[in-house]
């Protein structure tokens, strides 16, 4: 009897997982021989004196008034 291929969700860290500013990973979904992949880059870098003109802006999240405790 043929073995059925099951869909799996897999994660492959590509760099810096657990570090600030260097997080990138690949997520795959599907059977092993026909998996679809997406690469997610969640890294944030902070410019310094060696990178003039580079700056990172972080927005302030808005919390709805009814959700505040």
Phi, psi of 29 (to 5 degrees): -140, 140
- Which strands, in side-by-side order, build the sheet including 24-30? 8-15, 24-30, 36-41
Residue 65 pLDDT more than 90? Answer: no
DSSP per-residue string spanning 27-61: EEEE-GGG-EEEEEE-------TTSTT-----PPP
In this prediction, residue 53 has a pLDDT band, given cuts at 50, 70 and 90, of low
Q: How far apart are CA 46 and CA 12, in angstroms?
A: 25
The pTM is what? Answer: 0.55
What's the pLDDT score for residue 69?
56
Interval 6-48: pLDDT, tens: 999 999 988 876 666 677 889 999 999 999 999 988 766 666 6
């Amino acid at each position: 009897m043929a073995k059925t291929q099951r869909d799996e969700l897999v994660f492959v860290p590509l760099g810096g997982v657990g570090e600030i500013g260097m997080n990138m990973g690949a997520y795959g979904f599907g059977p092993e021989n026909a998996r679809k992949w997406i690469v997610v880059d969640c890294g944030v870098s902070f410019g310094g004196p060696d990178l003039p003109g580079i700056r990172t802006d972080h927005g302030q999240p808005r919390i709805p008034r009814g959700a505040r405790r």
